[in-house]
Copies of this chain bind each other. A is one copy, B any other.
Amino acid sequence: MRHETLPNARHLQPAGLIPVAPELMLCGCPELVGTSFSYGREEEIFGEGEEADFVYRVVKGAVRTCKMLSDGRRQIDAFHLPGDLFGFEMGARHRMTAEAVADTTVLLFRRRQIEDTASRNVDAACRLWDLTLRSLGHAQEHMILLGRRTALERVAAFLIHMDQRLGATGHVDLAMPRRDIADYLGLTLETVSRALSQLQSEGALRLDGARKVTLDRKRMSAVVED
């Protein structure tokens, strides 16, 4: 049994004092105040197999959670953007690795505190259950994408989804490289790049630099068509 340790962190910024800012709380509970941590690009937040003592909320930046096989094959199960929670686990240990995709700030919540709160506050417990159901819903959507969608459909669906999460402006600013998109979509980075080029040649999007994409939302939707 090892001692509970703090995670790797560049800079510790202690949370504000007496009047708790609402954005520091989890599920609106004043007793669940997060501690701010920052991670550099590509830095590991937690690794598969580590003790799952904390739950995280993204404040700034982007995080990927993924699984790897021994031969290096990787599957990214989700990208977490500002406002998103990640790090919930069934057992005592993480079954995923979490890494910062870009320079990232997160809020850290002690898992025991969350569980204590949930066991006393019914409303918080329901909200936590709902969050887990939401993750499950996302995973289920992703399974049909991975199992049954073509490469072009996957890339289009990904961009549409990112656009919606970033405000549905049609201007998507991708935080992650091609390789990460590929590992999220079950493709290679070359196939992702080709799909983007094809979507551009079809007039469904425009690439204003590799990470900046402008979508024609109507034509993009026509590509996925479920």
Query: Does chain B have a CB within 8 A of A96?
Result: yes
A210 interfacial contact with B, CB 8 Å: no
A69 in contact with B148 given A88-B133, A128-B129, A132-B136 (CB within 8 Å): yes
Given the complex of chains A and B, what is the CA–CA distance between A146 and B183 in angstroms? 12
Given contacts A75-B147, A132-B129, contact A137 B90 (CB under 8 A): yes
Q: With an 8 A cutoff between CB atoms, is A134 at the interface?
A: yes
- Whether B144 contacts A143 by the Cβ 8 Å rule is no
Whether B69 pairs with A226 at a CB distance below 8 angstroms is: yes
Least CB separation from A137: chain B residue: B90
| Given A73-B148, A74-B148, A139 and B129 contact (CB-CB distance below 8 Å) | no
The answer to whether A136 touches B90, judged by C-beta atoms less than 8 angstroms apart, is yes
Q: Tell me the minimal C-beta distance from A69 to chain B in angstroms.
A: 5
Using a CB-CB cutoff of 8 Å, which residues 116-151 of chain A contact chain B?
118-120, 122, 125-126, 128-130, 132-137, 139-144, 146-148
Render A81-98 as a binary contact track against B, CB cut-off 8 A, 1 for contact: 000000011100001100
Instruction: Please indicate the chain B residues that have their CB under 8 angstroms from the CB of A34 in the complex.
Output: none
Tell me which residues across on chain B come within 8 A of A140, comparing CB atoms.
67, 77, 95-96, 139
A58: min CB distance to chain B, Å: 18
- Residue interface bits A63-77, CB-to-B below 8 A is 1, else 0: 000010110011101
Task: Specify the chain B residue showing the minimal Cβ separation from A70.
Answer: B226
Q: Are A90 and B130 in contact (CB under 8 A)?
A: yes
Q: Which residues of B contact A144 (CB under 8 A)?
A: 67, 69, 73, 75, 77
**Which residues in window 152-183 of A have CB below 8 A to B?**
183
A225 in the interface (beta carbon within 8 A):
yes
Q: What B residues does A95 contact at CB under 8 A?
A: 137, 140
> How long is the Cα–Cα vector from A146 to B144 in the complex, in angstroms?
9
State whether the Cβ of A186 lies closer than 8 Å to any Cβ in chain B: yes
14 example contacts (A-B, Cβ-Cβ < 8 A) are as follows A67-B143, A73-B144, A74-B148, A77-B140, A77-B143, A90-B136, A90-B137, A95-B137, A118-B129, A119-B122, A120-B122, A132-B132, A135-B136, A139-B140
